[in-house]
Amino acid sequence: MKKLIYSFALIFMLGLSVNTVSAATTKEKVEMTAEQKAELQKITNRVEEIRAMDKSHLSRTEKRELRKELKEMKQHARAMGGGIYLSVGAIIIIILLLILIL
């Protein structure tokens, strides 16, 4: 019984993890176009501008909006870079399904 409880606790803890793993691809890395490079540079400049900003005088909602903007830019930059991202929970589910099928 203890093994079952520990197993479920382990699966639960790993499923809650927010770490992502980049899946390996067999394709060679695709070169970015001039537009993508310009947009990536624009995102980089905006992030540096936000980092240099004095945030002590900002209100709570303004800080929240900045964090939200940074998250959106990070997602957009990752999407431009390509690749597939899987969460740890998704990897565990895939492994369990493979074990059950095989």
pLDDT digits (tens, 9 = 90+) for 19-64: 555 555 445 556 778 888 888 889 889 989 988 988 889 899 999 9
Residue keyed to tokens 């770490």: 19
Residue 69's domain comprises 34-102
pTM above 0.75, yes or no: no
Residue at 13 is within a domain: no
DSSP H or E stretch at residue 100: helix 88-101
Helices 60-81 & 34-52, crossing angle to 10 degrees? Answer: 150
Residue at 3 is within a domain: no
Q: Map residue 24 onto helix, strand or coil.
A: coil
Residue at 21 is within a domain: no
CA distances in angstroms from 32 to 13, 64, 81, 101, listed in the order given: 38, 31, 8, 39
Total number of domains constituting the chain: 1
Residue at 23 is within a domain: no
